Structure 1
Amino acid sequence: MSRAAIVELLHAGVSNHGIAREVGCDHGDVAGIRAELGLPDARTIKGSASPEDLFWRRTQPADGGHLLWAGHRNSTGVPAIRTGGRMHTAGRIAFRIRWDRDPIGRVRAGCDANGCVHPDHVEDQPMRDQYAAIFRAVSA
């Protein structure tokens, strides 16, 4: 059992049972660490916040105006939030915050900063296609 992994998942809003399954420990051990840290039960966090609110709680400003993810990552390492029974990637939430629409295709940071999820820096596939077309036109 990795205490650091448990603490990270607790801060990401994952339930005691969810952490116990993911880390492979007893949920009572997770509850004890949650109590030591003074963190509320995961239901309190999830029930009171939208994906956007949870996004802002799990990001940290970085040099150069970037925003890095400090929360949970899914099984493939993608920054993610589970709320309302659904998994949301941080990139898709960031995109909706900035553009007020769902992204098309994969969301990536256009700034090329590793791990950046800043809403002003994310792009969907049509945006990348448009930028590529503009670059080709300028380069021709």
Structure 2
Amino acid sequence: MTTPRRRRPHPKTAQIIELARAGRTTDEIARTLRAGRTAVARVREEAGIPPTPRTAWRKPPHPKETQVRELLTEGYSNAEASRRTGVTPATAARIRESAGIGPATIPPPPRPHPRTAEITALLAHATNTAIGHQLGVDRATVARIRQETGTTYRKPKYRSVEEKWADHVRLVDGGHLEWLGERSSTGTPAMRYQDQWVAPSAVAFRWGKGRDPVDQVRAECGVRHCQAPDHVDDDLGRQRTREQLRYLTGRGPRPERCRHGHLQADYGRYTPTGVAYCNKCKQRERS
């Protein structure tokens, strides 16, 4: 009768038993001691140590746990710690909770505005309001970027109203001039010179025609608020142009008086197509 062969003890039996009694799982002991899982389970069974309950299992620490903890302790949010380390926000939240770290104290950095570069380029040359109108952005955004960059706008000293006007227009396609300065609440270009409000279109008209405008000055080129001197006209110029159109289309001279007897030399006007009408009668109809 042969005697059963006795199994030799594992060389790390004592260490396995010590870790098992400390509550470590079989997998943890195998990873720590670089021993086979089957061998660890056998030693545990021979020593009469039951498996560690699932409630006591511990997940291995995240490879970047130390780095994440440092950021969270400094006051950064889960999202910022995630962005800086590459872990998921859920992992950062788990590390915060397990370490007992309080809520973030450092506010997240503001998202860069998509037109930050364009705004920055204009800060030294225009006001927040002017930049906002030019780029179609909120002037509060311009103010924030100005504060972040520390850029100061120094108001230039102009020798004439024409010089200031010329410094606030920009040539665009088609020979039109775009207004870059201030605007009224309705979006109409406006300019302040020597404590007085001046209509930029009136300055453009004087620049091109060499005289003061009569009544309202408007762009006649089809581009709203165009400031090109050759593209704007006053009421007198518009009426002359429309009168010429009336003759060119064969309508002939307008009547001396309207059907209500108003003298057309004083009250006569023309539509953009050259049709004559009495402005006195039209004002009466509106009232």
- TM-score w.r.t. the length of structure 1 is 0.70
Question: Percent of counterpart pairs with the same letter?
Answer: 29
Find the aligned partners of 1:77 and 1:89 in 2 and give their Cα distance: 12
Kindly indicate whether residue 229 of structure 2 is the aligned counterpart of residue 115 of structure 1.
Answer: no
CA contact (8 A) 2:204 2:228 kept: yes
Alignment partner, residue 67 of structure 1 = 177
CA contact (8 A) 1:94 1:119 kept: yes
Amino acid at match of 2:214: I
How far did 1:11 drift? 1.4
The structure-2 alpha-carbon separation of the partners of 1:13 and 1:126, relative to structure 1 and needing over 3 Å to count, comes to farther
Alignment partner, residue 36 of structure 1 = 150
Q: Deviations over 1:26-47 (max 9, x none)?
A: xxx79x74x833421x3xx2x4
Q: Secondary structure, in 3 states, of the residue corresponding to 1:82?
A: strand
The structure-2 alpha-carbon separation of the partners of 1:98 and 1:12, relative to structure 1 and needing over 3 Å to count, comes to farther
Find the aligned partners of 1:84 and 1:133 in 2 and give their Cα distance: 38
The structure-2 alpha-carbon separation of the partners of 1:13 and 1:90, relative to structure 1 and needing over 3 Å to count, comes to farther
Alignment partner, residue 88 of structure 1 = 198
CA contact (8 A) 2:127 2:153 kept: no
**Residue among 203, 225, 239 paired with 1:129:** 239
Q: Secondary structure, in 3 states, of the residue corresponding to 1:87?
A: strand
Alignment partner, residue 19 of structure 1 = none
Identify which of structures 1 and 2 has the higher relative contact order when contacts are C-alpha pairs closer than 8 Å and 6+ apart: 1
CA contact (8 A) 1:60 1:68 kept: yes
Alignment partner, residue 165 of structure 2 = 55
Find the aligned partners of 2:236 and 2:158 in 1 and give their Cα distance: 33
Larger Rg: 2
Find the aligned partners of 1:103 and 1:13 in 2 and give their Cα distance: 31
The structure-2 alpha-carbon separation of the partners of 1:105 and 1:134, relative to structure 1 and needing over 3 Å to count, comes to same
CA contact (8 A) 2:158 2:164 kept: no
Alignment partner, residue 126 of structure 2 = 11
Find the aligned partners of 2:150 and 2:159 in 1 and give their Cα distance: 23
Amino acid at match of 1:119: P
Q: Deviations over 1:48-102 (max 9, x none)?
A: 3321111111111110111111110023321111011110111001011111211
- Between Structure 1 and Structure 2, the one with more strand by share is 1
Find the aligned partners of 1:65 and 1:107 in 2 and give their Cα distance: 18
Alignment partner, residue 101 of structure 1 = 211
CA contact (8 A) 1:12 1:81 kept: no
Find the aligned partners of 1:74 and 1:83 in 2 and give their Cα distance: 15
CA contact (8 A) 2:220 2:233 kept: yes
Find the aligned partners of 1:78 and 1:12 in 2 and give their Cα distance: 17
Q: Secondary structure, in 3 states, of the residue corresponding to 2:211?
A: coil
Alignment partner, residue 48 of structure 2 = none
For structure 1, the residue ranges without an aligned partner over 5 or more in a row are 15-22
Aligned length: 118
CA contact (8 A) 1:51 1:81 kept: no
- TM-score w.r.t. the length of structure 2 is 0.36
Q: Secondary structure, in 3 states, of the residue corresponding to 1:37?
A: coil
CA contact (8 A) 2:204 2:232 kept: yes
